């Protein structure tokens, strides 16, 4: 059933009754004040929409144009800011707002200190040094950073743990934040196979021996990955086409995929609520879209597919962990980068855009790079960039990937330098260079079966490293058998020796990647108009900003998170300063209030039904008056309303009235009577154990209670039944046995009123 409630003047709908209720009550109140519903608030704060873009052109799923590199070093004037999108590749977008008044270094619009401005300032101070500076990046004053890392015992260390998990799994396994193609419903006893006659991917039933149509493909975001790897084992090759038996259900053994909303629509993100937990066989990389959607009419394509292709030129860095440099340049090293639809981390093997072949042949992929480091380079840093009022960190910046490069073409060996030698080598096809040994390939390449692609040759001196720009990277290199399964090479049985002849291809999805990047340049409204075949990139601070999503795994993220208001941000800042041992300014002091402890304060006493706290002036007198003199075992014990309620008399004792109704009479009648006062105080505080002297003087407990008009204690009643003068029978000997510790709770005390008999109360 749809929960779309219409009635807003803008024409948009509410996706739940709870959200519509706020607007409805505002209408019923006569429109008094401003409406605080989600649509009215978004309408009031709606940002200026970018200039109108041309209608989306029809997606060409068969064309393969030659990609054109934007530039060798991408120029960016504000790429390292915390809360603004990069402006170098898309000029004209707003930059971060700097709050410089009274600040030792810059803050962003949320008040978080810009740690990178701090390191640049240190770099300027060390400009006379020949070594520069090197230091770990720790954003201890950022709650977002502290929530992802462990530092001095605080935080969860979630991000480093997940990056370590990525290093131990196959490269074909989807990762959190990646854009993928997914099928919500998979036919039982069917497999996704390639129809050799039409070159289309359809459902196939081996029982009926026929194809059963196309899957209902849509694009989505990986919001969660399998968490029950201990019971089910890690995701492996059989999961690509089949669904192996799992011990746990799909909500822990599967991937949570959320349908991707339109990044150009800032208001309607309801598509993210359409999610399912699915196995790996329902998921394919987004770069396969041209191959998988072949044969599907364009009018039947799900809108989310075009939404995902709009983000094929988005980039954002992940886990900046190291700062180093010598004036006037610096480098910030990262552990990962979201490049288009994929996440690339240090240690991955990525495919590179190879140069065009001879005689104008189209671009293919024959080169790979084993990533050793991902770097954000700050170039030409000047003194004015140190000022807190400057929104820039350097005059220019770039993102590069550094590692070891290898190629499948022997003619592109690093010893073949000149173009003449390269042409000769291509003509001869017989260059006397030995390939990289098999043992070295197994050690350097993370994907399994890298040798199945063919012999690998060094593209540079092995003692050095190869550096490429991010726009030269196509995506990850997958395991050889995974590519064979995706392309249909292993969907049939082969004789011995035939399988080894089936070599996978590195460029089987290159047409989809290049066409998707061209489509994103034309349709992403956050980018300026492109000139010709130029590719433009949208550089964002976070993955949530790059995808323009509102929720992730059911939680609001980014600027859509309503809790990040001014008051909450100041409270976070004040609490972080206290945790870090830093002084708190007067303007933040009022925001340092932490949630109070539940229950009454430690050491407080309940006297005559009233709570006396240790901070009260009469606290010492109350403790002294409610303590027994000379008996170290008799200590004051706090009482409560719950304990007092347990001491009320029964219906048989009609003459005994409630102690609360006779407090005033007791005070007047017993004034000056020290023995009675001592007895009343002991009765009020409730000793843990009755003294031996008390057990000997209970001849007529009920009569005395009536005479004193006091409630009868449970321990006294038990001693008076068939026991005589406090003597315990053999059957009641268990009362003296140690009682195990127990924990309870009331509205007055966190630990409860229960006190074991063998434990002395410390008061």
pLDDT at position 761, please?
46
The predicted-structure confidence for 384-406, as pLDDT tens digits, reads as follows 888 888 888 899 999 999 999 99
Confidence (pLDDT) at 430: 55
Element (H, E) at 164: helix 158-167
Q: What is the pLDDT of residue 420?
A: 53
Mean of per-residue pLDDT scores for the chain: 75
What is residue 692's predicted lDDT score, i.e. its pLDDT? 47
8 Å CB contact between 623 and 749: no
| CA distances in angstroms from 396 to 314, 317, 379, 380, listed in the order given | 19, 17, 5, 7
The string of DSSP letters for 334-375 reads EEEEEETTEEEETT-EEEEPPPP-GGGPPP---EEEEEEEEE
The residue to which tokens 């988005």 are assigned: 314
Q: Alpha helices, DSSP H only, in 369-459?
A: 419-428, 438-444
Residue 226 is predicted with a pLDDT of: 92
Q: How many CB atoms lie within 10 A of CB 115?
A: 21
If one compares 357 and 504, the residue with the highest pLDDT of the two is 504
Q: Which of 71-75, 88-92, 121-125, 217-221 has the lowest mean pLDDT?
A: 71-75
| pLDDT tens per residue across span 450-494 | 999 999 999 999 999 999 999 999 999 999 999 999 998 887 766
**C-beta of residue 478 within 8 angstroms of C-beta of residue 171:** yes
The domain locations on the chain are 1-46, 158-309, 605-736
Is residue 694's pLDDT more than 60?
no
> Do the beta carbons of residue 746 and residue 754 sit within 8 Å?
no
Specify the higher pLDDT residue, 592 or 550: 550
Phi and psi angles of residue 371, each rounded to the nearest 5 degrees, phi first: -75, 125
* Whether pLDDT at 629 is above 80: no
655/30: higher pLDDT? 30
Lowest mean pLDDT among 107-111, 115-119, 437-441, 600-604: 107-111
Cα gap 20→6, rounded to integer Å = 9
Half-sphere exposure for 742 (CA within 13 Å, toward CB): 12
DSSP character at residue 713: P
Gap between the Cα atoms of 161 and 579, Å rounded? 23
Q: Using one digit for the tens of pLDDT, what is the confidence trace for 347-371?
A: 999 999 987 544 444 568 999 999 9
Q: Are 263 and 50 in contact (CB under 8 A)?
A: no
- Checking if the pLDDT of 757 tops 60, the result is no
DSSP symbol at 53: P
> Across residues 562-580, what is the average pLDDT?
81
Eight-class DSSP state of 30: T
More confident site: 492 or 545: 545
> Is the pLDDT reported for residue 749 higher than 90?
no
Q: Both tokens of residue 698?
A: 């209970």
Q: What is d(CA 536, CA 517) in angstroms, rounded to the nearest whole number?
A: 9
Residue of 343, 263, 305, 277 lying closest to 558 (CA atoms):
263
Element (H, E) at 276: strand 275-278
Q: Rounded to the nearest 5°, which phi and psi values hold at 524? A: -70, 110
Q: What pLDDT band is residue 38 in, cutting at 50, 70 and 90?
A: confident
């Amino acid at each position: 059933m749809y929960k779309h409630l219409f009635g807003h003047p803008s024409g948009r709908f509410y996706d739940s009754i709870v959200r519509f209720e706020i607007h409805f009550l505002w209408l019923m109140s006569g429109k008094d004040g401003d409406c605080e519903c989600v649509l009215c608030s978004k309408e009031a704060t709606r940002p200026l929409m970018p200039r109108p873009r041309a209608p989306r052109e029809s997606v060409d799923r068969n064309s393969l144009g030659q990609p054109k590199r934007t530039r060798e070093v991408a120029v960016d004037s504000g790429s390292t800011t915390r809360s603004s999108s990069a402006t170098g590749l898309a000029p004209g977008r707003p930059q971060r707002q700097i709050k410089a008044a009274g600040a030792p270094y810059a803050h962003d619009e949320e008040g978080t200190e810009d740690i990178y401005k701090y390191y640049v300032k240190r770099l300027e101070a060390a400009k006379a040094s020949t070594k520069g500076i090197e230091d770990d990046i720790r954003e201890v004053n950022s709650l977002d950073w502290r929530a992802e890392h462990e530092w001095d015992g605080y935080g969860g260390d979630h991000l480093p743990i997940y990056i370590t998990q990525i290093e131990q799994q196959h490269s074909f396994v989807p990762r959190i934040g990646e854009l993928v193609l997914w099928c919500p419903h998979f036919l039982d006893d069917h497999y996704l196979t390639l129809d050799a006659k039409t070159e289309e991917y359809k459902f196939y039933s081996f029982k009926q021996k026929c194809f059963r149509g196309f899957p209902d493909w849509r694009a989505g975001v990986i919001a969660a990955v399998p968490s029950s790897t201990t019971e089910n084992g890690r995701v492996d090759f059989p999961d690509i086409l089949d669904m192996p038996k799992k011990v746990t259900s799909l909500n822990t053994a599967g991937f949570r995929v959320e349908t991707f909303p339109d990044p150009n629509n800032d208001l309607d993100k309801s598509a993210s609520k359409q999610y399912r937990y699915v196995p790996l066989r329902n998921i394919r990389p987004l770069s396969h879209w041209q191959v998988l959607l072949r044969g599907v009419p364009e009018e039947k394509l799900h809108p989310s597919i075009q939404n995902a292709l709009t983000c094929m030129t988005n980039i954002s860095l992940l886990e900046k962990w190291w700062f180093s440099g010598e004036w006037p340049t610096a480098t910030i090293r990262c552990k990962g980068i979201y490049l288009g639809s994929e996440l690339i981390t240090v240690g991955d093997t990525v495919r590179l855009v190879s140069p065009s072949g001879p005689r104008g042949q189209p671009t293919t992929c024959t080169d790979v790079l084993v990533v050793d480091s991902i770097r954000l380079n700050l170039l030409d840093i000047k003194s004015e960039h140190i000022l807190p009022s400057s929104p820039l960190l350097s005059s220019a910046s770039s993102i590069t990937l550094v590692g070891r490069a290898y190629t499948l073409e022997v003619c592109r060996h690093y010893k073949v330098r000149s173009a003449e030698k390269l042409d000769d080598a291509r003509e001869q096809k017989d260059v006397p260079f030995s390939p990289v040994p098999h043992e070295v390939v197994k050690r350097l390449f993370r994907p399994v079966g890298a040798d199945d692609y063919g012999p690998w040759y060094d593209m540079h001196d092995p003692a050095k490293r190869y550096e490429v720009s991010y726009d030269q990277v196509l995506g990850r290199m997958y395991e050889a058998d995974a590519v064979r399964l995706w392309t249909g090479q292993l969907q049939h049985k082969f004789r011995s020796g035939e399988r080894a002849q089936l070599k996978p291809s590195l460029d089987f999805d290159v047409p989809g990647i290049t066409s998707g990047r061209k489509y994103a340049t034309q349709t992403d409204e956050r980018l300026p108009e492109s000139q010709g075949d130029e590719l433009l990139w949208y550089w964002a601070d976070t993955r949530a900003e790059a995808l323009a999503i509102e929720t992730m795994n059911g939680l609001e993220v980014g600027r859509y998170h309503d809790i990040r208001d001014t008051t909450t941000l100041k409270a976070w800042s004040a609490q972080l300063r206290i945790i870090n041992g830093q002084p708190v300014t007067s303007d933040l002091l009022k925001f340092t209030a932490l949630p109070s402890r539940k229950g009454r304060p430690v050491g407080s006493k309940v006297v005559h039904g009233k709570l006396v706290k240790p901070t009260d002036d009469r606290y010492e007198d109350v403790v002294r008056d409610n303590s027994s003199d000379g008996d170290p075992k008799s200590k004051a014990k706090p009482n409560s309303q719950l304990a007092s309620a347990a001491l009320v008399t029964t219906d048989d004792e009609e003459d005994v009235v409630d102690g609360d109704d006779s407090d005033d009479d007791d005070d007047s009648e017993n004034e000056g009577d020290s023995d009675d006062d001592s007895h009343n105080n002991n009765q009020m505080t409730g000793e843990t154990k009755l003294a031996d002297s008390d057990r000997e003087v209970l001849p007529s407990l009920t009569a005395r209670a009536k005479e004193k008009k006091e409630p009868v204690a449970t321990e006294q009643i038990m001693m008076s039944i068939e026991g005589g003068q406090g003597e315990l029978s053999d059957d009641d000997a268990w009362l003296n046995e140690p009682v195990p510790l127990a924990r309870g709770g009331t509205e007055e005390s966190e630990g409860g009123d229960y006190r074991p008999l063998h434990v002395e109360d410390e008061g």
